[in-house]
Amino acid sequence: MDMFGEDENIGKAQDIAIPDLPEFPRDQILGFERELLGLYISEHPLQTYIPRFERSNAVRVIDLSGMADRQEIQVGGIITSVKPFTAKKSGEPMCFFTLEDMTGSVACTIFPHVFESQKQHIGKDKVVLLRGKASHRDRMRDDEEGGHIVEILVDEVTPLGSGASNANSGPHTIHIRLDETKRHAFRFVHETLEQHRGNGEAQEVRLHVLDRGQNHTLKTPMLAEYTESFRSAIERLLGKQTVWVE
């Protein structure tokens, strides 16, 4: 120190060790975006599940108002909030939660007799496919907005991924359908797979080949990361709804 008691090292450049950490997984980055900004910036986490929703004939949230009361429906989305509850009459656990897709959000109720068998699939940031009934009712509570409300009475919850909070979430197998008229495109499909191997999050690929009316499923050694750009590239080669994840 000098006469004023100041450290002689002050003002000198010092080496700071920066740890070599891996990049956050895509789903975790999306979770950070939603938590900090209130919306997704990079891409929507449900984008990769759209083909799965379409094949299940899932209803979009924005279209629920057109469903008849107690009509059987399927809806796919991501759970954004969960509120455990105890049924007043039976004292058994049940649950309220909010499901969001790319068109809006909807309140969901799962009653005690269903909750016990489905509770392990319910959690914030989980991507799910719901089977249940549309329920129309008028506004009853002070914390609800609007005069008419459509909810979902849930009968079954099918998990499709762990959601934005889990680095290992997301689909584990990519399926590609290839019919006789598109065989010439296989070389380009292979090139597309090679271009989308990803950064450690690649999934195995299975081909569904239609040959003379027979569907053959082939497990391949190829790997790819299912992203929006990958889906678009495959559909440009083979057509709509020719690639999906499970």
Q: Which pLDDT value is given to residue 134?
A: 94
Phi and psi torsions of 134, nearest 5°: -75, 135
pLDDT digits (tens, 9 = 90+) for 69-112: 999 999 999 998 999 999 888 889 999 999 999 889 999 999 99
Are the C-beta atoms of residues 244 and 170 closer than 8 Å to each other? no
Q: What is the pLDDT of residue 30?
A: 53
Cα angle for residues 124, 127, 133 (degrees, 5° grid) = 95
pLDDT band at 19 (very low <50, low <70, confident <90, very high): low
Strand 72-86 and strand 93-101: pairing?
antiparallel
For residue 31, what are its two tokens?
A: 């979770």
Q: How confident is the model at residue 28 (pLDDT cuts 50, 70, 90)?
A: low
78, burial (CB in 10 Å: exposed 0-12, middle 13-18, buried 19+): buried
Position 245 scores a pLDDT of 77
Give the integer Cα–Cα distance in Å for 186 and 217: 15
Query: What distance lies between CA 36 and its chain's CA centroid?
Result: 19
CA distance 154 to 139: 20
Of 5-9, 54-58, 79-83, the one with minimum mean pLDDT is 5-9
For residue 195 the two structure tokens come to 């271009």
CA dihedral in degrees (120, 175, 58, 25; nearest 10)?
Answer: 50
- Name the pTM for this structure: 0.53
Summarize pLDDT for 183-239 with one digit per residue, the tens: 788 889 888 888 887 655 678 888 888 777 778 888 888 888 877 788 888 888 988
According to the model, what pLDDT value does residue 5 have?
A: 55
Instruction: Produce one character per residue of 155-183: b if its CB has 16 or more CB atoms within 10 Å, e if not.
Output: eebebbbbbbbbbebbbeebbbbbeeebe
Cα separation, 234 vs 237, whole angstroms: 5
- Which helix (DSSP H) or strand (DSSP E) does residue 30 occupy? helix 26-37
Average pLDDT over residues 37-57: 70
In the predicted structure, residue 41 carries a pLDDT above the cut 50 = no
- Of 73, 53, 52, the closest CA to residue 63 belongs to 73
Can you tell me which residue has the tokens 């197998």? 173
**Residue 195 DSSP class:** H
Question: Residue 13 is which amino acid?
Answer: A
User: How many angstroms separate the CA atoms of 43 and 39, rounded?
Assistant: 10
Query: What pLDDT score was predicted for residue 128?
Result: 92
At residue 18 the predicted structure's pLDDT band, cuts being 50, 70 and 90, is: low
Q: Give 140-182 pLDDT, tens digit per residue.
A: 554 555 567 899 999 999 988 644 434 344 457 888 888 877 7
- Asked whether the beta carbons of 165 and 28 are under 8 A apart, the reply is yes
Measured distance CA(141)–CA(107) in Å, rounded: 13
Number of other residues whose CB lies within 10 A of the CB of residue 130: 26
pLDDT at 156: 93
